[in-house]
A and B are shown apart, each in its own frame.
Chain A
Amino acid sequence: MKKVIEGSHAVAEAVRLCAPKVIAAYPITPQTHIVERLSKMVADGQLDSEFLCVESEHSAMSACIGAQATGVRTYTATASQGLMLMHEMLHVASGMRLPIVINVANRSVSSPLSIWNDWLDAMAVRNSGWVQLFVESSQEALDTTIQAYKIAETIHLPVMVCIDGFYLSHTYEPVDIPDTVAGYLGDYKPKVVLDPKNPITQGMMAGPKAFQEFKEQQHRALLSAKDVIKNENREFNKKFGRIYGDGLVETYNMESADYAIISMGSVCGTIKHILDEKKISDIGLIRIKTYRPFPNKEIIDLTKNLKALGVLEKDISFGIGGALWADVKTFVDKPVSNFIGGLGGRDIQIEDIVKIFGTIRKEEENIHWVGSQLKK
């Protein structure tokens, strides 16, 4: 059924369809509309879940871990400071191989305090062993959240679906809500659970003789997510008629491109619009949907005949440059300029992107702060 709804509500609809038995969440802007809607669904009997109003994001993830380890599907959502507070438990969840699903309504991280969008939150936790997916539209947010459960439960790792705060979370768009996900997402069937009939021990300590192997296993599992994500992208298309690139990356206007701009999330919609509007043919867009695991092969293949690239991102890895740029540079041996912009909710305007295109064509490699008001 098609409805014009907020991105947050699109996500809530996806969660309702996947029916996690335990939802634990703490309110934080701009995530609030997701969990408000979910608690109303529970109150109205549309969703058969325990909704825990926990007292912090740390406890939100902790409660999800406890519930998931007991044997039920769980859900939480957060942003910004909340994700920072939860950070410790993100590592616990992935280390314990629990397929928890979270939505992050991406928001900057204090200080200075900012409630507005960028990716500083998600980027700060990129080493926590979670699958990290970035979406462009509300429809994709809904579809990806459903896929997230399937991916997580296949590879036994938690999945984070990132939606740009406000740009997606608070924007109304037409969204097609499936009637059911039955036939796509089956019942949750965990391998090991807390059960007096088979009293296993979970969340152990491991000494130097064992610890490293568990981390190697986790890394392998996260790499294996690439095929799983691609497959779910196709399977989802078969059932629901919507597909997003190959699940890892989506390309746009690349047919005759000499250059590419690489980015993620909702700003890609703006880039596509400009490419169309200005009938640009020498530049294409590579939208990274799956940030972790990183689609290195795809990036190498897509850029091998290009002259130069630009990476536009709403984050900074202090002391090196953009996190995404650094990742791309690891695999691409040609000029890659880095454009850091949109921090703390600053709009990335059409003129900004036109300027970025001009810089990419210069085939240089510098770090540019989009619209910087500081003296050089």
Chain B
Amino acid sequence: MDKKFNEGAWAEPGTSVKNKTGSWRTFKPIVTDRCVGCGTCTKFCPEGAIKIVEKNGKKKAEINYDYCKGCLICLKECPFKAIEKEVEK
């Protein structure tokens, strides 16, 4: 059987990580120092591309630009206005 064509067209899990959807962006959200790591944006990111990381004892949102499609919901919803945007280069 040709491995490329699984009989019945089934797929292995989670394989869409190959789609680097970050290339779709026209605007890029930037997390500024005003971020307190509250995590609001993580609940609203349609791509699940934001996580809270701890750096030097400070919590902060980190955006995975490989997959962020630049919808800017995070910017809109941030209670601390801690996310800014720039035009994608």
Contacts and interface: CB of A to CB of B under 8 A. Distances in A.
Interface of A: 95-98, 156, 191-192, 198-204, 206, 210, 213-214, 217, 221
Given A96-B9, A214-B9, 15 more contacts: A95-B8, A95-B9, A96-B8, A97-B7, A156-B7, A191-B7, A192-B6, A198-B13, A199-B13, A200-B11, A200-B13, A202-B8, A204-B10, A210-B9, A217-B7
A302 B4 CA distance: 40
A155 to B, nearest CB: 10
**Consensus secondary structure, chain A interface:** loop
10 contacts: A95-B9, A96-B9, A97-B7, A198-B13, A200-B11, A201-B11, A204-B9, A204-B10, A213-B2, A221-B7
Contacts of B10: 192, 200-202, 204
A217 B8 CA distance: 9
Interface in B1-22: 2, 4-13
A90 B78 CA distance: 49
Nearest to A205: B9
Contacts of B13: 198-201
A206 B9 contact: yes
B8 to A, nearest CB: 3
Contacts of A221: 7
Contacts, number: 41
B59 to A, nearest CB: 31
Contacts of B11: 200-201, 204
Contacts of A214: 5, 8-9
Contacts of B5: 210, 213-214, 217
Contacts of B7: 97, 156, 191, 217, 221
A98 B2 contact: no
A165 B6 CA distance: 38
Nearest to A98: B8
A95 B10 CA distance: 11
A356 to B, nearest CB: 43
Contacts of B4: 213
A67 to B, nearest CB: 16
Nearest to A200: B10
A203 B11 CA distance: 9
Closest 10 CB pairs of A and B: A97-B8, A199-B13, A201-B11, A213-B5, A96-B8, A202-B10, A204-B9, A200-B10, A97-B7, A192-B10
Contacts of B12: 200-201
Contacts of A204: 9-11
Contacts of A199: 13
Contacts of A95: 8-9
A156 B9 CA distance: 13
Contacts of A201: 10-13
A210 B7 CA distance: 12
A330 B12 CA distance: 42
A291 B6 CA distance: 27
B39 to A, nearest CB: 27
Contacts of B6: 192
A331 B5 CA distance: 32
Contacts of A200: 10-13
B18 to A, nearest CB: 14
A101 B6 CA distance: 22
B12 to A, nearest CB: 6
A204 B6 CA distance: 11
B23 to A, nearest CB: 19
A281 to B, nearest CB: 48
Query: Which of B2, B7, B9, B11 counts the most chain A CB atoms within 10 A?
Result: B9
Nearest to B14: A199
Contacts of A217: 5, 7
